[in-house]
Amino acid sequence: MLTIAEIRRQYPHPIRAYESNSEACSPERRLKPDGEYCVAGAIYMSVTGKRGGGNAFPMPAAAARALAILNPRLSPGEAYALAVDIIAANDCENFEEAWLQAEQATDGELCREEKE
């Protein structure tokens, strides 16, 4: 099974999606050049095999689907909330926190209790 540690080794240098917070709200949201990615993008590209373009900076719903593939015990709501948190940490340039949240999301630590 693919782990966050393996993904992190393959994608060791994430960047924030936008140069400034105002750019994130701009209608001209530009894509970064190929080869650049955020933490959620690294996860998404590793899970789906899709590279470059918007895949390197996925929207929360796409990132949530990738997290759910890595940890099927996550509910859709949990996966989405975790994706939002990972993207927010990344875009504040707190990459260590983004990777930590990804590890927690995929190791089951934050998962709901399974019903017996």
pLDDT of residue 111: 45
pLDDT of residue 108: 54
Cβ-Cβ contacts under 8 Å for 68 (sequence gap 6 or more)? 74, 76, 79
Structure tokens at 10: 């393959």
CB atoms within 10 A of CB 56: 25
- Summary mean pLDDT of the chain: 83
What dihedral do alpha carbons 37, 89, 94, 62 form, nearest 10°? -20
Secondary structure of residue 17 in the 3-state scheme: coil
- What residue ranges do the domains of the chain occupy? 4-107
The amino acid sitting at 69 is I
pLDDT of residue 35: 77
Residue 113 CA to residue 71 CA, distance in Å, equals 13
pLDDT of 5-30, one tens digit each? 999 999 999 998 876 554 444 444 44
pLDDT of residue 33: 56
User: Is 114's pLDDT higher than 90?
Assistant: no
Quick one: how far is CA 1 from the chain centroid? 17
Band the pLDDT of 55: cuts 50, 70, 90. confident
